[in-house]
Amino acid sequence: MFTTILLLTSIFLMLYLTEKRRFFNVVILGFLGLCILITIISHYPLLLPNEQGIMSQMGIIVTLGGFPSIMFILSIVTFFNSKVLLEKEGRKAHNLLLAVFGLSFFIMMIWYVFVIFANIEHEIWHILFFYAFLIFGYTMFLYTSVMAYATLYHFTPIFYEPNYIIALGSGLIGNRVPPLLASRLDEAVKQYKKYGDRPYIIVSGGQGNDEKVSEAYAMKTYIVDVHQIPAHKVLMEDQSTNTEQNMVFSKIIMDKHARGKTYRSIFVTNNFHVFRASIYAKKAKLDAQGIGSKTAFYYVPNAFTREFIGLLEMYKWMHITVFLFITLFIGLILRAYV
């Protein structure tokens, strides 16, 4: 197992140092963490079988009680966070996302207790639970891996000076910059001053149906009026409607503005959005790494979960293939028992 850990560590470092903005890095980091966890558990005396091959009493308690305990704790945490989010951000459907996850955790806990502790002898129940557990386990493996990798990416320093700083839009309230977007603009200005007022700031965002002006116009107005940045240092990209277009259209502006000269850039968004935005930057062939602005703590879990679902959508065929393999595997098991 130590050889496997060393191999995975080497592969991860090679991938991370050559290109940080790819989903495959997430998978390798997840497997590395899983191997480390298995190694720790296998070398923990209380969990190991004795000479007769019988697991210790502590091992049985941890094995049987650990899963429902974790599910119960996660249920409470997600329900509590959804309550806070609804109180502070309003009764919107996407603010119930974590509550839905919490409900799934609770259902898994009840199902586990029912199957394991109720002495259900019919194999179908155990097989169906195993199927649900594999799907759930795969999803949680990806979620944990993405969370760990996104945190690592967020705290990785940038060692080059950018010529352009792209501030990604996130929606207006009428023609007003809301706090979430203001945090991105404040961070963009902070980066601008960090590099001696030399870079140009590109504010990126089009006009939504419920917005009085384009996001780019409101963002530029905020930067010029609030932070007193010269207007000629702020370039507007006012056609995009999503993150992918933010990157593509901003690159067109930079290519035109740089007039054939080589340039580098960074982009600024909220911390929960940095990793997925970096993948869009890579797809746009944009030489840019991400900087995350601060976000209210209560908002992060729900927002990050939405980001995770967005990542699943980006690589949906890979995940659909995995689900199909799991389903085929369970189907073969069911056929053997039916």
Q: Note the pLDDT of residue 118.
A: 62
Q: SS3 of 201, please? A: strand
Q: What confidence category does residue 53 fall into, taking pLDDT thresholds of 50, 70 and 90?
A: very low
Q: Tokens for 232? A: 């000629």
Look at 95-109, 205-219, 243-257, 324-338 and tell me which has the smallest mean pLDDT.
95-109
Q: Note the pLDDT of residue 9.
A: 92
How far out from the chain centre does Cα 103 lie? 20
* Single pTM value for the model: 0.81
What domains appear along the chain, each with residue ranges and CATH number?
69-156+296-338 (no CATH), 164-295 (3.40.50.620)
Mean pLDDT of 331-336: 80
Taking the CA atoms of the chain, what radius of gyration do you get in angstroms?
Answer: 24
Integer Cα distance of 237 and 169 in angstroms = 10
Say if residues 268 and 167 touch (Cβ distance below 8 Å). yes
Q: What confidence category does residue 62 fall into, taking pLDDT thresholds of 50, 70 and 90?
A: low
Q: What confidence category does residue 234 fall into, taking pLDDT thresholds of 50, 70 and 90?
A: very high
Integer Cα distance of 312 and 80 in angstroms = 25
Q: Tokens for 222? A: 């905020």
Q: What confidence category does residue 52 fall into, taking pLDDT thresholds of 50, 70 and 90?
A: very low
| Average pLDDT in the chain | 82
Query: Per-residue pLDDT for 131 more than 80?
Result: yes
Q: Note the pLDDT of residue 85.
A: 59
Integer Cα distance of 315 and 309 in angstroms = 10
Say if residues 293 and 304 touch (Cβ distance below 8 Å). no
Q: SS3 of 94, please? A: helix
Say if residues 322 and 138 touch (Cβ distance below 8 Å). yes
Say if residues 164 and 254 touch (Cβ distance below 8 Å). yes
Q: Note the pLDDT of residue 298.
A: 72
Q: What confidence category does residue 104 fall into, taking pLDDT thresholds of 50, 70 and 90?
A: confident
Specify the pairing of strand 234-237 against strand 200-204.
parallel
Say if residues 167 and 203 touch (Cβ distance below 8 Å). yes
Integer Cα distance of 164 and 159 in angstroms = 15
